[in-house]
């Protein structure tokens, strides 16, 4: 609905022909950087991502864009070189809506290939969960594994957050009406709970009293390993609150001009001396 309203608004406000608009489709992979992912950027164990969008061409190098993106994030301590003993993991479905600005370095009506960059602002929805043995989802935000809502002023985290999308890549002009692009898009977030991990462990008995045995089990899973340690003491480090979580997309984007008509530059009109050109119709 937001995407449709934005598109209608752009058309009404600009009053331009539909040939200035492109529809877009994206397919690729998504991953994240946070407390259960050691590397800042990696495609190892990435999950599928896809999206659709609309672009308005201000001029051959500048475009306004609106995108709806969908992805799945996943990480597991068992792949970590640092936190294997903690044995935490998470999955999360991401739904994101964003608007932004794109700049193309070279005019693609005159060149076949050009680098490009983009930035903007977005809102996304997430919900970290763990898959139970019976296939059901254990929603981690409902368990308050770090005492959100009752421990030392820790607030529950909002599952809808603002993000700052930015990135770039290479575009190829297949025709004036069709383009293909390779893109890497990064999302800066303002939450440390994409993975439900941020600060320190709270007292095991307090957590059990407030949220039940399931919350204790999901807060620390090291005891599930052979020779694993028991639940840590209150105040032991569970995550790093000073570093917010990020997520990112890598893939291919296709762009198609609405109407399928070539954007032709109007030829200049030469006026001969003594002749008067016909006025252009409004």
pTM: 0.85
Q: Are 57 and 21 in contact (CB under 8 A)?
A: yes
- Residue 159 has what pLDDT? 98
- Residue 278 has what pLDDT? 55
- Summarize pLDDT for 178-194 with one digit per residue, the tens: 999 999 999 999 999 99
Three-state SS across the chain?
Answer: CHHHHHHHHHHHHHCCCHHHEEEEEEEEEEEEEECCECCCCCCCCCEEEEEEEEEEEEECCEEEEEEEEEEEEEEEHHHCCCCCCCCCEEEEEEEEEEEEEEEECCCCCCCCEEEEEEEEEEEEECCCEEECCCCCEEEHHHCCCCCCCCCCCCCCCCCEEEEEEEEEEEEEECCCCEEEEEEEEEEEECCCCCCCCCCECCCHHHHHHHHCHHHHHHHCCHHHCCCCCCCCCCCCECCCCCCCCEEEEEEEEEEEECCCCCCCCCCCCCCCCCCCCCCCCC
Give which of 222, 194, 183, 178 is closest to 35, Cα–Cα. Answer: 194
Q: Choose between 56 and 81: higher pLDDT.
A: 56
User: Is pLDDT at 13 greater than 80 in this prediction?
Assistant: no
Q: Choose between 46 and 266: higher pLDDT.
A: 46
Q: What percent of the chain has pLDDT over 70?
A: 85
Confidence category of residue 40, pLDDT binned at 50, 70, 90: confident
User: Is pLDDT at 164 greater than 80 in this prediction?
Assistant: yes
* In the block, residue with structure tokens 């059901």: 136
Confidence category of residue 263, pLDDT binned at 50, 70, 90: low
Confidence category of residue 221, pLDDT binned at 50, 70, 90: very high
- Residue 272 has what pLDDT? 53
- What domains lie within the chain, and their CATH numbers? 2-10+29-257 (2.40.160.20)
Confidence category of residue 43, pLDDT binned at 50, 70, 90: confident
């Amino acid at each position: 609905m937001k995407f449709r309203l934005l598109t209608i608004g752009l058309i009404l406000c600009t009053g331009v022909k539909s040939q200035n608009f492109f529809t877009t489709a994206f397919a690729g992979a998504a991953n994240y950087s946070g407390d259960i992912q050691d590397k800042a950027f990696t495609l190892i164990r990435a999950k599928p991502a896809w999206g659709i969008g609309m672009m308005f061409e201000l001029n051959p190098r500048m475009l306004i864009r609106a995108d709806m993106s969908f992805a799945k994030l996943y990480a597991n301590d068992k792949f970590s070189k640092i936190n294997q003993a903690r044995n935490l993991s998470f999955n999360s479905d991401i739904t994101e809506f964003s608007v932004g600005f794109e700049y193309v370095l070279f005019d693609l009506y005159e060149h076949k290939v050009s680098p490009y960059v983009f930035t903007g602002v977005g809102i996304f929805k997430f919900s970290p969960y763990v898959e139970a043995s019976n296939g059901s989802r254990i929603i981690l935000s409902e368990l308050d594994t770090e005492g959100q809502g009752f421990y030392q002023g820790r607030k529950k985290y909002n599952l809808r957050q603002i993000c700052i999308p930015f990135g770039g890549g290479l575009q190829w002009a297949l025709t004036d009406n069709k383009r293909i692009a390779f893109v890497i898009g990064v999302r800066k977030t303002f939450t440390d709970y994409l993975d439900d991990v941020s600060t320190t462990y709270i007292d095991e008995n307090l957590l059990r009293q407030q949220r039940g045995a399931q919350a204790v089990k999901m807060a620390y899973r090291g005891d599930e390993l052979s020779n694993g340690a028991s639940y840590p003491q209150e105040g032991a480090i569970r995550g790093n609150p000073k570093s917010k979580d990020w997520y990112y997309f890598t893939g291919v984007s296709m762009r198609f001009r609405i109407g399928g008509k070539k954007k032709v530059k109007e030829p200049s009109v030469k006026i001969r001396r003594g002749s008067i050109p016909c006025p252009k119709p409004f």
